[in-house]
Structure formats: C-alpha cells, structure tokens
C-alpha cells in the first residue's frame, strides 16, 4: 500500500547508539547482536543478576566465534566493551533507538515505556519486543506515540533472521524507517506488519501450541510429539520450543492471544504449560520445563 511505502522514502535512518531494556533471553541476545554488528548498546535491567546473565550469554557467543577462528580475542574485547550494562537511565538522552524487552506483562510494559519516554530525547524511537501485545494499546502510555512501534525479534536472536516491525495506529514513517534500518544493520531481515495481538508469526504459532495442548489433554506423550515433529523435519518439537521460549513467557503470551481472539484461541481447560507455570517450571531459563536441564 501507499502507506507502507511512505517510510521507505524517509531519510532519517541514523542508528549510532542503541539501548535495550531487560537483559533476559531476548535483551541479552539483542545486546550481543547489536554490539557484534557495530552498534554500541546500553543494556538496562532492574537487577544485577539480570545484567550478569545477559553479559554471560554475550561472552559465550563471542567465545564460540573466537574458537572457530571467526574473530580475534581483541575484536571480542571490543565488542564486549560496546555493551554497557546499567541499572540506571543515565545517558539515555543520546540514544537513537531503545528496544524494550522486559517481561511479557502489559502493566509492566506500560510503566516501563512511560518511564523511559521521560529519559530520552524528543527524537528517540522506542520499540517494543513484545511477542503478542498490541502496539496501539501499548502506545496509550506515551506522550509521543508517533515515535513508537514494535520490533519483534525471534529466539535465539543471533540465529533467527526475521524481525517483525509493527506499525501501531499512530506510528510515524520515521519510526518505521529507523527501526527497519536498525534491524538491517543488525543483519536481520525486517518485515513491516500490521498491528494485532500476536502480529503475524505468533498468529500462526499460537494455534499450533493450542493444538499441542489439546493433544496432551487427550493423553499424548510430549516426548513422542516432539520426536514426531522432528522426524517430520522441523528443527524441534513444541515441548522443546516452549522450554526455549520460556514457559512463563509462553503462558503470558497465550493469555494475550486468548483475550484478543476469544472465539478462536480461548481454551476451556487448564493446559500442561499453565500447570508447569504454577509449579515454577519456566523452561531452560531455570533449568526445568517439559525437560530437565542440569
């Protein structure tokens, strides 16, 4: 459409400095990929353990590259120093784009986005890495909704080529142009999609997870389902994928999808993942999900 092409003409694609909020599975991955591709990044979390985990992950990925002879130890050092871990918003006024990657909880995101807007310049673009929550609804927290859009990476960030860039009702062409430019700099393929709960990929993926939950309710063994899907040719089955995603994130995202599409995506039974969530089995992030990781 004409609207979709408008952003392509925008000249402002400057992304010299970035920031990410949340240093978890996704925030840590985003920080690594940005630094590796030459865009220095501030990585903010609310606790030191979060920051340490994010840095540990970046270290692990870089060490692999050095071991494979893809980069020198001094290049690795340079990349690591371009990730600036922080517990405060100091220096955020100089940032071109801030990617929000905190927990999948609407209330938390609304508060974090509103707080961040106070700390950045009038030109800074804010982009949310939410998996499912409508960008137009998150924009309600902001005074400059035109500067806000979705920037949805996939897990693991360094390996997955796609980034969905989501246009909310009030998102400007400049915000889209800069976010696409940043994704491209990070070596990713950006696709601009419309706003709705789950955007595009998760509109397809969550019905698949629902199908898996129904199979388990009907008595299927999750390991058998995983093995069958792998032999069919997919890189992993649904149980293992949910462990990688995070059971907590999967449950929260599923709630948003059910609320957004109650006629199609609301299940009338308690799913295995909901039970696991209650028992604090969060997947690989805490060592226990469908499978145990020790």
List the one residue out of 177, 123, 107 whose CA is nearest residue 115: 107
By the rule CB under 6 A, 202 interacts with ligand NAD? no
Shortest CB 239 distance to ligand NAD, Å: 14
Q: Say if residues 126 and 110 touch (Cβ distance below 8 Å).
A: no
Q: Which stretch binds ligand NAD (CB under 6 A): 72-80, 139-147, 153-161, 257-265?
A: 153-161
Q: Which stretch binds ligand NAD (CB under 6 A): 63-71, 98-106, 177-185, 214-222?
A: 98-106
By the rule CB under 6 A, 213 interacts with ligand NAD? no
279 assigned to active site? no
Count of CB atoms within 10 A of residue 230's CB? 13
By the rule CB under 6 A, 243 interacts with ligand NAD? no
Q: Say if residues 126 and 117 touch (Cβ distance below 8 Å).
A: yes
Determine the size of the site formed for ligand NAD (CB under 6 A): 29
By the rule CB under 6 A, 101 interacts with ligand NAD? yes
By the rule CB under 6 A, 50 interacts with ligand NAD? yes
Query: Given the structure tokens 């939950």, which residue do they identify?
Result: 213
Q: Say if residues 76 and 66 touch (Cβ distance below 8 Å).
A: yes
Distance of alpha carbon 82 from alpha carbon 289, whole angstroms: 34
Q: Which stretch binds ligand NAD (CB under 6 A): 68-76, 91-99, 147-155, 192-200?
A: 147-155
Q: Which of 253, 265, 272, 276 binds ligand NAD (CB under 6 A)?
A: 253
Shortest CB 175 distance to ligand NAD, Å: 19
For ligand NAD, the closer CB: 129 or 271: 129
Give CA separation, 291 vs 118, 244, 246, 276, in Å.
42, 10, 12, 11
> Catalytic residues, which ones?
152
Residues that bind ligand NAD (CB under 6 A): 21-27, 44-47, 50, 101-104, 108, 112, 129-131, 153-155, 245-246, 249, 253, 285
């Amino acid at each position: 459409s004409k609207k979709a092409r408008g952003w392509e003409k925008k000249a402002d694609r400057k992304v010299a400095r970035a920031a990410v909020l949340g240093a978890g599975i996704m925030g840590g991955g985003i920080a690594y990929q940005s630094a590796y591709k030459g865009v220095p990044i501030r990585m903010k979390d609310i606790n030191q353990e979060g920051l340490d985990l994010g840095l540990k992950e970046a270290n692990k990925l870089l060490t692999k590259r050095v071991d494979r002879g893809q980069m020198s130890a001094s290049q690795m050092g340079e990349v690591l120093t371009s990730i600036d871990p922080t517990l405060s918003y100091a220096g955020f006024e100089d940032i071109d784009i801030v990617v929000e990657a905190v927990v999948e909880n609407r209330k938390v995101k609304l508060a974090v986005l509103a707080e961040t807007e106070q700390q950045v310049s009038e030109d800074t673009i804010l982009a949310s890495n939410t998996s499912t929550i409508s960008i137009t609804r998150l924009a309600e927290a902001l005074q400059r909704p035109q500067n806000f859009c979705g920037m949805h990476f996939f897990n693991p960030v360094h390996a997955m080529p796609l980034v969905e860039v989501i246009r909310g009702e009030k998102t400007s062409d400049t915000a889209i142009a800069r976010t696409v430019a940043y994704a491209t700099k990070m070596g990713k393929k950006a696709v601009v999609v419309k706003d709705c709960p789950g955007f595009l990929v998760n509109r397809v993926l969550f019905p698949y997870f629902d199908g898996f939950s129904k199979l388990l309710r009907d008595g299927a063994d999750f390991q058998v389902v995983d093995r069958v899907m792998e032999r069919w040719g997919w890189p992993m089955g649904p149980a293992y994928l949910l462990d990688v995603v995070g059971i907590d994130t999967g449950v929260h995202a599923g709630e948003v999808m059910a609320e957004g599409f109650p006629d199609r995506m609301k299940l009338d039974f308690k799913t295995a993942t909901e039970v696991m969530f209650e028992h604090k089995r969060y997947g690989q992030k805490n060592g226990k999900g469908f499978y145990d990781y020790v």
